[in-house]
Structure 1
């Protein structure tokens, strides 16, 4: 099991588009044996935090190169959210 925390920051003025993008991308997790455990929204309206689990690292890697995910990101261009991903464990 691989557990990740993704810190997502939306571009100023493109928050709604960023949230729609995240909605669409998170819906793709299941095809890669991934699951969204938590989706938290920052009070600033600019940030989200996602806790995501994958059955394996291979599932995460296939999610990263999913063609539909890439196409969705390309549609947003420079207004696409920026994301920092941290691998975590409970301890």
Structure 2
């Protein structure tokens, strides 16, 4: 059964470009686990209470999502993520 997630990301102050660069790199791994990035949108205002980036990501199944989360290449970027991502919210949806 497919797993579709909405992901909201807020950046550390002054790290908008670093967050996008990190996401560029980490989202390249999604397809290796049976996933697809359906939507990747960046906010157009300067309100830091709004997420900087909104994503909708779909995986063929929960196992693919779990494998993506455990991917050693993704895990090796944890320090980059910690330096630029202040907050994340994620939940499953249907589309």
What is the TM-score normalised by the length of structure 1?
0.88
The residue that corresponds to 1:83 in the other structure is 88
RMSD over aligned Cα atoms: 1.6
Gaps of 5+ in 1: none
Q: CA deviation at 1:78?
A: 3.6
- Deviations 1:10-56, CA, capped at 9 Å, x for gaps: 11111111110000011000111010001011123661100100000
Q: Write the mapping of 1:8-27 to structure 2, written as runs, cut at 5 A.
A: 8-27=9-28
* 4+ residue runs over 6 A deviation: none
Gaps of 5+ in 2: none
What is the TM-score normalised by the length of structure 2?
0.84
